[in-house]
Amino acid sequence: MPDLKNSITLTLLAILALLLSGCEDKPSERTTLPYAEFKIALSAMSFLAYNQGYTSENGIDLQPISLEAGPDVVASLSSASERSGVAGNIAIEPVAAMIAAQRDPVVIATVLTSDRHVQLVTFAESGITDDPATLRGKRIGFVANTIGETYLLGLLERAGLSRDDLETLNARPTDLRSALVRGDLDAAILWDPFIQQARRIYNQGIKAGTAEDRGELLALVDPTIFTLRMNVVTTREKLEGSREQLVGLLNALIETEGYIEENRAEAQASVETWLGLEAGDLGDFFSTTSFRVELQETELRDQLQVTVNRLRAANPTSFAPNDYSPFVDSTLLVEIAPDRVSN
């Protein structure tokens, strides 16, 4: 009997070792990852990553922190609170603002690229056309230190104008949408869902007799002025403390990229439902946007330097580093998909 007991014990230990070895490549439990994002179309990749279960499959319990604009994500990433974002979705402009404030941001991947999503929203009777020279003397709204400000500056440069040639309002996207519909602005730099929301509210107001009819709402875009890159960003301190979770997130986002490529119509419908839009509202966005997880190191560093220099021109006391390489970290993406990194 002792031999039999020893045999059973050895067998059970062997089975246990086999089971444990088979679990090595899979996360044993999900790890919480607070993630700061906007509830806008530009957050499609992170939304679909958790909505389709890819984050969970990679051992990540992604906890979205829904925010409205770039400065809100910057505040969340910069905070040491347990409820703050470990990482988040932002474009180049808020990252540059973090650098200028010495908050040590780190871009670990770009997940979405578009040259048509940021648009100048106006009305047919405003006198504003696709010629940016028609902005002279108009009341224009934008969100400072975001893609909206970059696009506005590009339009002004193209027309040979300066901000002094306009009346400008810096406000949150929802406030710009409301001011535009009320008639307090001639135009605003916006993106979806705010463009579609403005169009719907304006048209409903005309039908109800509560809004002044200023002609058709127009969304004008010049794709040669600006290319938007939405990035996954963290801080150096949070990267060092959450590296494994962030690698899992990048894996989930790569799987999401494949899902969108194979199921674009379904993905579009999911994002439209999430944003409370009508079917088809994001057709242009999904047909003109590149959903790809990648990291173009040199290009990102150059863009950061240009944007930080622009901020310093407006505020000479802001910080401008000599070396931008610490703000772009390719090591996580290299670990799982080196072909997606270019120098």
pLDDT digits (tens, 9 = 90+) for 94-129: 999 999 999 999 999 999 999 999 999 999 999 999
What is the per-residue pLDDT for 30? 52
CA atoms within 13 A on the CB side of 280: 0
* Residue 50 amino acid letter: Y
Say how far apart CA 279 and CA 299 lie, in whole Å: 36
Domains delineated in the chain: 31-115+227-342 (3.40.190.10), 119-220 (3.40.190.10)
Coil, helix or strand for 135? helix
Average pLDDT, integer, range 248-261:
98
What global pTM score does this model have?
A: 0.84
Q: Quote the pLDDT of residue 31.
A: 81
The yes-or-no verdict on residue 10 having pLDDT over 90 is no
* CA atoms of 235 and 275, how far apart (whole Å): 28
Cα angle vertex 84, ends 314, 110, to 5°?
65
Retrieve residue 117's tokens. Answer: 């999503």
Q: Is the pLDDT of residue 48 over 90?
A: yes
pLDDT digits (tens, 9 = 90+) for 17-41: 333 334 444 333 458 999 999 899 9
Residue type, 268: Q
pLDDT tens track for 138-150: 999 999 888 999 9
Q: Residues 323, 328, 334, CA angle at the centre, nearest 5°?
A: 135
**Which residues are registered as beta bridge partners of 60?**
31
Mean per-residue pLDDT, 9-14: 37
